[in-house]
Structures are given as structure tokens and as C-alpha cells.
Amino acid sequence: MKKKPAHVVVRARECRGDASLMIRKFIKKTKKEKIIELVRSKRYYKKPSVAKKEKRIRAERQRRREERKRLRAKERRNRTI
């Protein structure tokens, strides 16, 4: 599945001409689109077996994170005041 190209644009009007704010907004937008992560991962060749292993590890972390999130929400619902 190919990801559509990301067009990250930060206009001076959004940031009232403040250059440092524009840079922060740009960085935030690129992180959200995962552009930096993609560039870093494609910088060097990765064997398919290594790529699969990393993908599996990322998926496992995500599952654990979602499970913790679900349990915390369940505890909050069951909490009595």
C-alpha cells in the first residue's frame, strides 16, 4: 500500500510572521505525517527479515499500549467516588 504524498505547508500568516513559530509548526506537521521517520528508515538498506522483525516489535508495542489504555479507561469507569 503506497502512502499518498504529504504536502506540508506552513504559511507566514498562520504564525504572524514569527520564524521560530513557523519552524516549530513545520516540525510538528512533519512528525504528524511521519515524514522524518520515513526518511530515517529509508536512509540505509534494511534486510527484509530485519524489517519484518522491527514491524512485529512495533506492532507488539502498539498492542501493549492500547491494552494499557483500555485497562485505564475501564478502571476510571469502575471508580466510585
User: 34-45: per-residue pLDDT in tens?
Assistant: 888 888 889 999
Q: Is 9 exposed, middle or buried (0-12, 13-18, 19+ CB in 10 A)?
A: exposed
2 and 24 together in one domain: yes
Contact 10, 25 (CB under 8 A): yes
Helices (H), the chain: 19-33, 35-41, 48-78
With cut-offs at 50, 70 and 90, classify the pLDDT of residue 10: confident
Contact 15, 22 (CB under 8 A): yes
34 and 13 together in one domain: yes
Residue-number span of the structural domain to which 68 is assigned: 45-81
> CA–CA separation, 81 vs 79, rounded Å?
7
pTM for the whole structure: 0.57
* Number of domains observed in the structure of the chain: 2
